[in-house]
Amino acid sequence: MNKTENQMLIIFGASGDLTARKLIPALFNLFRDKHIPENFVVLGVSRSNLSDTEFRKKVAIESLHLKDQVSTRELSLITSFSKKLFYEDLGDNYDTNYDKLAKRIGDLNTKFSIGNNFIFYLSTPPSLFEAISKNLSEQNLNDETDGFKRLIVEKPFGYDLETAKNLNKGIQKYFQEHQIYRIDHYLGKETVQNLLVTRFANSIFEPLWNRNYIHHVEITNAESNGVGSRGGYYDNSGALRDMFQNHLLQIVSLIVMEPPIAANAQEIRNEKVKALRSLRIMNDEKTLNDNTIRAQYVGSKINGEEVKGYREEEGVNPDSTTETYAAIKFFVDNWRWKDVPFYVRTAKRMPTKVTEVVIHFKTPHHQIFQDSGVLNKDNKLIIRIQPDEGILVKFGVKVPGQGFKVERANLDFYYSDLEETKVMEAYERLLLDAMQGDATLYARADEVEAAWKFVDPILNYWKNAKDVRMYGYSAGVWGPKNADNLIDGIGTWRNPEENLADDPGFCVIC
Ligand code: BG6
């Protein structure tokens, strides 16, 4: 197991939602499972006026996010854990003089023998990343002479290619690339990492993993929730920026990439970036029109209960043209994937929450069992990212009796069958990796930029083109009906559940 050196985690934006909801519970689990080094403290930093005690109460002792996750037996552990938490009020502004903050960090460093190893976690709007990096560097808090200094940044990493480049440049003025960890919590999911193992630790899949055997690849990311209280943020973002550019293209890169020569951060990320660069960029309006679909959920009734439409959500512009559904068909221009279509969709207010990758294999080229009923039932490899994490292979078996009637059977594995194994939460895994200096599951600058390069023309087309449609779908259905046209000729999307809306409807909004 890698060693975790003594260190301090300094969280900027510590009074925000993410700290209490994700970071502190993840750190608590690491503490409980004895992954935290002997000398370790967390210093929360933000603009709220809180004492150490108030911060401990807010994010740990009285936090439901933590209490709901732990057993009664572990409640006393929360108190011991909370003693590792401290707080520093930055005043009105993150872009200020960090003398006082540096002094506090120095004092805690000495008191708890931290050894000058610091991780700065920026859970703030990206517009502050550069200013915070600069202010830290003015205090020499980027200097690794006597201990490591790492910077973890949260998404959104850019609004488009240009802003992502500027953000990278802005941070890289003060921190070197090896110090920067861009978090994408999907990479922390066990099943996403298992994509690498499925492909490269087995000799039965990789030989088939190419255009000779794969007919098409389908990825669905569905959420049953709407935008909830995040309408203000989401309305300036949309499904393409919020999910597709980062989480889904990360998954795509793991499916598309060539085998890395070793399982380390540099080699894996080199292959991922090559994969992202090989996505065929869609530039002309006709291609963009034929291969992209955007939509918004509209109000409906689910089990007799009214569900709000997107435009009625709090913080959302009533005339908004922000998509809550995006489906994209694209190709990958390289030797392995030539002419294999990829279909990727992501949306809110679907019938269920599910993320899965479906590899559809080609039908055998010489059909012996023509009357068997097997046609149109291709072999499928289904990688269930969440929930019911696992893998399923669908293949044909003979129906007992005369003749050669073929039926589909499943070969499956579910993580829940591994009773002894505790699956780490994404943030737990990612924080521990950063604490150990392993950036394999973090996005590198060039990966992020390659992803934006692919997404930018779609965003521009949706924003500027004249006749681009915005479809409506009832909350609780699998998106607009015409999304199946994207898969024209080869069937429909694989929908793991039935529609939920009492009266499913589809429309053209604009
Ligand atoms: C976040 C998006 O990055 O991922 C949210 O901003 C989305 O809009 C969330 O709901 C989904 O994450 P998960 O792990 O619940 O699939």
What confidence tens digit (pLDDT) does each residue in 336-391 have? 999 999 999 999 999 999 999 999 999 888 888 776 665 557 899 999 998 888 89
The answer to whether 167 and 158 have CB atoms below 8 angstroms apart is: yes
Residue-averaged pLDDT of the chain? 92
Tokens encoding 257: 């990439």
Coil, helix or strand at residue 46? strand
Residue of 422 and 138 predicted with greater confidence: 138
The answer to whether 105 and 118 have CB atoms below 8 angstroms apart is: yes
pLDDT at 75: 78
pLDDT at 481: 86
pLDDT at 114 > cutoff 90: yes
For residue 259, cis peptide bond before it (omega within 30 degrees of 0): no
Using H for helix, E for strand and C for coil, what is the string for 379-431? CEEEEEEECCCEEEEEEEEECCCCCCCEEEEEEEEEHHHCCCCCCCCHHHHHH
* Contacts of residue 169, Cβ cutoff 8 Å, sequence gap at least 6: none
- Among 229, 247, 427, the mutation site with the greatest number of ligand 1 atoms within 8 A of its Cβ is 247
The answer to whether 350 and 480 have CB atoms below 8 angstroms apart is: no
* Closest residue CA from atom 15 of ligand 1: 223
Lowest mean pLDDT among 362-366, 412-416, 490-494: 490-494
For ligand 1, the distance from its centroid to the CA atom of residue 272, given in whole angstroms, is: 22
Confidence at 256, pLDDT banded by 50, 70, 90: very high
Using a 6 Å cutoff on CB, does residue 425 contact ligand 1? no
pTM of this structure: 0.93
Using a 6 Å cutoff on CB, does residue 242 contact ligand 1? yes
* Closest residue CA from atom 4 of ligand 1: 243
Using a 6 Å cutoff on CB, does residue 223 contact ligand 1? yes
First to last CA, the chain: 55
Exposed, middle or buried: residue 227 (CB in 10 Å: 0-12, 13-18, 19+)?
Answer: buried
For ligand 1, the distance from its centroid to the CA atom of residue 351, given in whole angstroms, is: 16
pLDDT at 467: 84
For ligand 1, the distance from its centroid to the CA atom of residue 242, given in whole angstroms, is: 8
pLDDT at 492: 82
Using a 6 Å cutoff on CB, does residue 447 contact ligand 1? no
* Closest of 101, 112, 13, 26 to residue 55, by C-alpha: 13
pLDDT at 373: 63
For ligand 1, the distance from its centroid to the CA atom of residue 362, given in whole angstroms, is: 32
Q: Give the separation between CA 237 and CA 226, rounded to whole angstroms.
A: 14
Report the pLDDT averaged over residues 470-486.
91
Residue with token string 């150990």: 436
For ligand 1, the distance from its centroid to the CA atom of residue 231, given in whole angstroms, is: 14
Q: Active-site residues: which are they?
A: 247
pLDDT at 291 > cutoff 90: yes
Confidence at 416, pLDDT banded by 50, 70, 90: confident
* Closest residue CA from atom 14 of ligand 1: 186
Q: Give the separation between CA 44 and CA 88, rounded to whole angstroms.
A: 6
In the beta sheet, which residues pair with residue 291? none
pLDDT at 56 > cutoff 60: yes
Tokens encoding 181: 């960890």
Q: Report how far Cα 281 is from the mean position of its chain's Cα atoms.
A: 22
Could you tell me the CA-to-CA distances from 169 to 3, 164, 172, 252, 443 in Å, in that order? Answer: 31, 9, 5, 26, 15
The ligand 1 atom nearest the CA atom of 247: 3
Report the pLDDT averaged over residues 474-490.
87
* Closest of 283, 292, 289, 277 to residue 238, by C-alpha: 292
Tokens encoding 381: 């490899």
pLDDT at 510: 63
Report the pLDDT averaged over residues 393-419.
85
The answer to whether 328 and 351 have CB atoms below 8 angstroms apart is: no
What confidence tens digit (pLDDT) does each residue in 17-27 have? 899 999 999 99
pLDDT at 304: 86
- Name the most confidently modeled range: 63-67, 385-389, 453-457, 487-491: 453-457
Confidence at 145, pLDDT banded by 50, 70, 90: very high
Tokens encoding 470: 């915005």
- Torsional class of 340: left (φ above 0), alpha (ψ -120 to 50), beta (otherwise): beta
What confidence tens digit (pLDDT) does each residue in 240-255 have? 999 999 999 999 999 9
Percent of the chain whose pLDDT exceeds 70: 96
- Torsional class of 373: left (φ above 0), alpha (ψ -120 to 50), beta (otherwise): left
Percent of the chain whose pLDDT exceeds 90: 75
386 residue type, one letter: Q
pLDDT at 269: 95
Q: Give the separation between CA 343 and CA 11, rounded to whole angstroms.
A: 38
What confidence tens digit (pLDDT) does each residue in 438-473 have? 999 999 999 999 999 999 999 999 999 988 999 999
The ligand 1 atom nearest the CA atom of 186: 14
pLDDT at 31 > cutoff 70: yes
pLDDT at 430: 95
- Among 155, 183, 185, 386, the mutation site with the greatest number of ligand 1 atoms within 8 A of its Cβ is 185
